[in-house]
With several copies, the nearest count.
Chain A
Amino acid sequence: MSTRVAETPHGALGLSADDLASMHRLLLTSRLLDEAALRQNRMGRAPFVVPAAGHEGCQIGTAWAMRRGTDIWLPYYRDLGIVLSAGMTPYEVFLGVFAKADDPSSGGRQMPAHWGSRRLGIISGSSPIATQVPHAAGIAYAAKYRGEDAVVGCWFGDGATSEGDWHEGLNFSGIHRLPVIFVCENNQYAISVPQSKQMAVKDVASRAEGYGFPGVVVDGNDVLACYGAMKTAHERARAGEGPTLIECKTYRFMPHTSDDDDKSYRSRDEVEQARVRDPLVQFASYLREHGLLDDASHDALRAEIKEEIDEAIRAAWDAPDPDPDTALRHVFQEREEEQ
C-alpha cells in the first residue's frame, strides 16, 4: 500500500485551501461578533453577554469535523464559535443578545448564549453546568439504536468535569461505545476557581481511561490540531469504536461574563501572556506562511464581516420584542403543534 504524504499540515488532514478560508472566516466572525456584542453590552443595549474570545481556536477547529444536517451539537454557553459553525447566523445571534421574539434559541426567554435550534441540530442548552452531558449520551444511544450515521458533539468547560452528571454521562457512553465526542475547553478557570482547586490532575483527558475510551490533549490555540483530534474522534465514532474525550488547552481572554470582574482572581500579566498565543493570530500566520492570506485580503475579509455584523445588529435591534401575552405558552405542547 502506498502512502501519499501531503505536502502541508492541512493537506495531511485533508483540508483544502477553501476549507481554510472558510475556517478563517468563522474564526474572524466569531471574534468580531464577540467584540461587538460586548460593545452592545457596554452601550447598555444588551444586559448580559458571554465572551468567547480566546476559545475560537478549539471551537472552530473541533466543529469543522462535524457535519451540518447529520451530526448533533450540544454546545455550552461559551460556544459562539460552535454555533456559528453549525449554521447560526450573526443576525440570529443578535436576536438572542437583544432577547427578541424571533431569537431562534428561545424567543428571548433564556439569557443570551443559551443556544438551541432544532433545525440546525443544536440541542437547547440551559444554565446548569454539565446537564447536557447525559443528554449527549442519550442522543447518541438513540442515533445508534435507529441506525443513523450521526455523531454527537458535546462541549463543556473544565469546571463542568466536576459535576456528577459529567461522570454519569461519560460512563454510560463508554459502556455502550456510543458515537459521541466530549470536548473539554479547558481555560483553566471556572469563573474564578483555578484548575488546581477544580481537580488534582494536570489533564482532564486523563479521566477518559477510567471510562474505557481514549483521552486526547490538544493545544486549543492550534486550530488544525483541534481539527485533527476531532476528525480522528469522529472517524472512531462512525466506525462504532465509541467515544473520545478531547481536552483543548485554551484560555478565556475576557471576564467570565459581562457581569464578572476577572481582576479579582487573575493578574493582567497572566492574561497578556495568554493573548500572545491567540488562536486567530496563529491561524492567520499559518495562512500567510502558506500563501493563503495577505494584508489586503485580511483587511477586506475583516471589513466584510464587520459590515455583516453591523447589519445584523441593526436588523436584530429593530426586530420585535416578545409579546408579554406569550409568556404562558409552550409549558406543554400546544394543540396546533401536534404531530
Chain B
Amino acid sequence: MTEKNVVTAVRDALHDEMANDERIVLLGEDVGARGGVFRISDGWMAEFGEERVIDTPLAESGIVGIAIGMALHGLLPVAEIQFADFIHPAFDQVVSEAARLRYRSNGDFGVPMVIRTPYGGGIHGALYHSQSIEAFYAHIPGIKVVVPATPGDAAGLLRSAIQDPDPVLFLEHKKTYRSIKGEVADGAYLTPIGVAEVKQEGDDLTCISYGYSLHLCLDAAHRLAEDEGASVEVVDVRTLAPLDVDTIVSSVRKTGKAMVVYEDNRTYGAGAEIASTIAEQALFDLDAPILRIGGPDIPAMPFAAPLEHYFMEPEPDHIYARMRELARA
C-alpha cells in the first residue's frame, strides 16, 4: 500500500503497463518532450523511445483514427486527448469506427484501445477546459466508459481498460488529480470494468455519484452523519457503460431513497439514466421522489471565479442541504 494522488496513480499504472508490454504505445499532443500537460508521461519518450511515445499533430480525429488502425494491427494504443473538451472532433471516429468495428464485422475485428482524457471543472478551466463529456459516450453501444474517482480505482481500472479487448474511454476528473489522495495497493491488480462500489454503507438513503462529485457526496454524507446521525449509503458508479444496475438497485431497495449527483449539465445527463433505471426497477421501494442533482444547463463553467463557483455550487451547501432534506423526508 502506498498513498498517492489520482494523477500519480494513473501515471504509475500506465508506466508499469508500458514497461511490461511492448504492444502498448502512447499517442497524443505534447505527450513526448513535454511529458503531457499534466506531466503524466514525463521522461517516457527517453525511457520508451519515440516510437512508443508519439507526439501527434494537432488533430484529434486523426489521433483516434490512427489509434484504431494501430489496434487493428496488433498494438494496444493508449490515445491521450489533452482535454476532454477537445475530443469532439473525434466523435465520428469513436461512434462510427471504434465502437462499431466489432459489431459491423460480426466479431471479425476488435479494437483494443484506450482513450484517456482529463475532464471536469472547478479548476478555473473556463468553457473549454471544464466539460463533462461522459453522457455523450455512455450512450454509444460498443465502447466502455470508465469514471474512476479514487487513486486506487484509477490504477486498477486503467489496467483493466488497457487489457480490455474493446475500446474504453477512460475519464480522469482533473479536480481529483491532486486533491484526492488514497491508499493504492501494490502490484498490478485489476479493478473490474462494469462494477460499482459501495464506498460507504448506510441505511437511510442511497447517494449515487462518480468522479469528483462522489467526493462532494462523501463529504456531505459524513457531515450529515455528524450533524444528524443520518446514515447515507454512497455508491460510486465507477463505470457508466456498462452500468452496474444491480448494485445501484439493491442499495436503493435497501434504503428506500435515492439521490443521483453529477457535475455534467443536468438535462439528458448520465444521472437521467441512473434515476430512470431506479424508477423502473425499484419504484415501489421508494419512500420519496428520486432526487437528481446535476450541473446547470449552461455550456460549461465560465472562467470568472464567481461564475465558476455558481456552476459548482449554485446554492450554498447545495448537495448537503438537499441530502438532508431527502434524509428527513
Contacts and interface: CB of A to CB of B under 8 A. Distances in A.
Interface stretch (A2-10, A137-145, A229-237): A137-145
A338 interface: yes
Interface of B (DSSP majority class): loop
Contacts of B299: 331
Given A118-B109, A324-B310, 18 more contacts: A106-B105, A109-B304, A118-B105, A124-B104, A127-B129, A135-B66, A138-B67, A142-B70, A162-B59, A165-B65, A167-B59, A171-B57, A172-B56, A172-B59, A191-B37, A192-B32, A327-B302, A331-B299
A134 B128 contact: no
21 contacts: A106-B104, A108-B304, A114-B126, A124-B105, A126-B127, A130-B58, A131-B97, A134-B68, A140-B69, A142-B75, A143-B73, A145-B51, A172-B66, A192-B34, A193-B30, A197-B56, A199-B57, A265-B33, A321-B306, A327-B310, A337-B107
B59 A133 contact: no
Interface in A115-136: 116-118, 123-124, 126-131, 133-136
Contacts of A339: 165
Contacts of B165: 332-333, 337-339
Given A138-B70, A265-B33, A322-B304, A175 B92 contact: no
A107 B303 CA distance: 10
Contacts of B166: 332-333
Nearest to B58: A159
B304 A99 contact: yes
B311 interface: yes
B106 to A, nearest CB: 3
A336 B302 CA distance: 23
Given A138-B72, A175-B57, A330 B304 contact: no
Contacts of B33: 192, 264-265
B289 interface: no
A244 B130 CA distance: 36
A135 B96 contact: no
A333 B112 CA distance: 10
A327 B296 contact: yes
A52 interface: no
A169 B304 contact: no
A326 interface: yes
A146 B304 CA distance: 38
A193 B96 contact: no
Contacts of A48: 124, 303
Q: Is the interface of A mostly helix, strand, loop or mixed?
A: loop
Contacts of B303: 48, 99, 106, 108-112
B29 A72 contact: no
A111 B66 CA distance: 25
Interface in B227-282: none
Given A168-B62, A321-B305, A331 B102 contact: yes
Contact of A324 (B69, B97, B107, B306): B306
4 A-B pairs with the lowest CB-CB distances in the bound complex, closest first: A138-B69, A134-B65, A168-B62, A127-B128
Contacts of A134: 61-62, 64-66, 68-69, 93
B189 interface: no
Contact of B35 (A264, A321, A322): A264
Contacts of B296: 327-328
Contact of A131 (B30, B56, B65): B65
B142 interface: yes
Interface stretch (B12-20, B81-89, B173-181, B205-213): B81-89
Interface in A185-202: 190-193, 197-199
A324 B57 contact: no
A87 interface: no
B153 interface: no
